[in-house]
Amino acid sequence: MTTDEHGVPAGVDRDLVHLMNAVFTDYREAHPHPRTSHLDTELWSHLDRLGLARLTGSEATGGSGAGWPEAAELITAAARRGVRIPLAEHDLLACWLLEAAGAPVDGTVRSACLLDESGRATAVPWASSVDRLVVVWPGPAGHLLADIDARDLRITPDTNMIGEPRDEVSADLSTLTGIPVSADLVSRFALRAALVRSLQVCAALDTILELAIEHTSTRVQFGRPLSKFQAIQHLISDIAAEAALARAATEAALSTALDSDWSASNVHFRVAVARSCAGHAVSVAVRNAHQALGAIGTTIEHRLHEYTRAALAWRSEYGSVQHWDSVVTQAALRAGEDGLWELIAD
C-alpha cells in the first residue's frame, strides 16, 4: 500500500476521504459532547445518503462497491474525531456475512456476532442499538447463519469503558433456522473483526500523538514550552515510535489479507502480530501521553480521554492483547528454531 502526499492510500479517491473527514468534523462541531451509548439515527441516515454506510457492499445489493482501503479510511476518520458509530460492524462484518452467505441485504442497520453452543454471545457491539443481527452458531453439521430481527433475541445491554454498546445476546437455537456457512467464513469473520479494532487503535494512537505534541508545544513551564525539555521529547518520541510500529504491523496484515482475499496461510499470524503490536503500543502511548499532559489530561473536559480510553477499550476487543500474544507464541513454538524466521519474513 502506498500513499500520496496527503497520506491517502493509492487507489483511494482523495475527494472521498475529504468527504469522510468533513462529515465527522461537522458532526463533532454540532455535537461537542455526543452520547456514545446509542446509535445516532440522524447521523446514520446522513452517512447512508452519502453512500458511506455500506461502503464496501456490492452495488447490486445497494452498497457503494468500495473496498477495505476506503473502509479503513472511513473507520479512521470516525475514530480520529471521536465519533462512535457501528460502520464497521454493519458494513465489514454483518452485511459482508450476508453477502458471503448469499443472503439478501437491505438498508437496515445491523451488527453481527458468533453465538456459542448454548446460543449466547457476550460483548456484542451495538446489539441493543441496531434493528437486525446477523448471527452465526455451531450447528450439528457445521456453522449456520441467520439474519434476525433484534426484537427476537434476548439482549442485555452493557457497554465498554467508553460507553459503546457491548451487549449480551442470547437466542434459543432450537427455534432458529439458518443457512450453512463454512468454517473458513467463520474464521474470516473473526480476523476481519480483529483487524477493524487494530485500525481503530492506530487511529486513536495517531490522535493521542497529535494531542501530546499540541499540548506540550503550547504549555509553558519554567519559561519554556514543555516540548523543549528532553524528558518530554523522549516521552513523545516513544509514543510516535510505538504508533508507527502498530501501523506498520496493521497495514502489513491488511495487505496480506487483501492480496490473497483473506486466504493466505499467514493472514492469521499477521493479524495476531498487528493486534500484539497495536495492543502494546497503547500501553506506552496512554501512559506517556497522560504523563506529558499532566492533570488536565485526566479530566472529562479535555479531549485526550476520547482517544486514550478508546484505545484501551478497543485493544481488548475481539481478543485481549494477551490472547493475541499467545497466538503469536503458539505459531512461534510450532515453527521452532528453524522455522521462526520464515514465519516472520515469508
Partner 1 sequence: MSTRLVPPATREPAGSTELRAEVRAFLSEQLAAGAFTPSVDAWLCGWDEAFSAALAERGWLGMTVPKEYGGHGCSFLERFVVTEELLAAGAPVAAHWIADRQIVPSLLKYGTELQKREFLPAIAAGRCFFGIGMSEPDSGSDLASVRTRAVRADGGWTLTGTKVWTSGAHRAHAFIVLARTSPVDPAHRHAGLSQFIVRLDGPGVEVRPIVSMSGGHHFNEVILDEVLVPDEMVFGEIGAGWSQVTSELSFERSGPERVLSTFTLLAATAESMAAQQIDSDAGLGRLVARVAGLHQMSVAVAGALERHESADVPAAVVKVLGTSTEGDIADFADLRAGDDSRITPSLRALITEAVDQRPGFTLRGGTNEVLRGVIARGLGMR
Q: Which residues make up the interface to partner 1 (CB under 8 A)?
A: 1-3, 7, 9, 206, 209-210, 213, 216-217, 227-228, 230, 232-234, 236-238, 240-249, 251-252, 255, 269-270, 272-274, 276-277, 280, 322, 324-338, 340-341, 343-346
3-state secondary structure the chain: CCECCCCCECCCCHHHHHHHHHHHHHHHHHCCCCCCCCCCHHHHHHHHHCCCCCCCCCHHHCCCCCCHHHHHHHHHHHHHCCCCCCHHHHHHHHHHHHHHHCCCCCCCCEEEEECCCCCEEEEEECCCCCCEEEEEEEECCEEEEEEEEHHHCEEECCECCCCCEEEEEECCHHHCCCEEECHHHHHHHHHHHHHHHHHHHHHHHHHHHHHHHHHHHHCEECCEEHHHCHHHHHHHHHHHHHHHHHHHHHHHHHHHHHHCCCCCCCHHHHHHHHHHHHHHHHHHHHHHHHHHHHHHHHCCCCCHHHHHHHHHHHHCCCCCHHHHHHHHHHHHHHHHHHHHHHHHHC
Least spacing, CB of residue 23 vs partner 1, in Å: 21
Least spacing, CB of residue 228 vs partner 1, in Å: 7
Least spacing, CB of residue 95 vs partner 1, in Å: 28
Q: Which is nearer to partner 1, 66 or 236 (CB)?
A: 236
Q: Which is nearer to partner 1, 79 or 93 (CB)?
A: 79
Least spacing, CB of residue 4 vs partner 1, in Å: 10
Q: Which is nearer to partner 1, 50 or 340 (CB)?
A: 340
Least spacing, CB of residue 20 vs partner 1, in Å: 17
Q: Which is nearer to partner 1, 40 or 251 (CB)?
A: 251
Q: Which is nearer to partner 1, 10 or 141 (CB)?
A: 10
Q: Which is nearer to partner 1, 183 or 241 (CB)?
A: 241
Least spacing, CB of residue 206 vs partner 1, in Å: 5
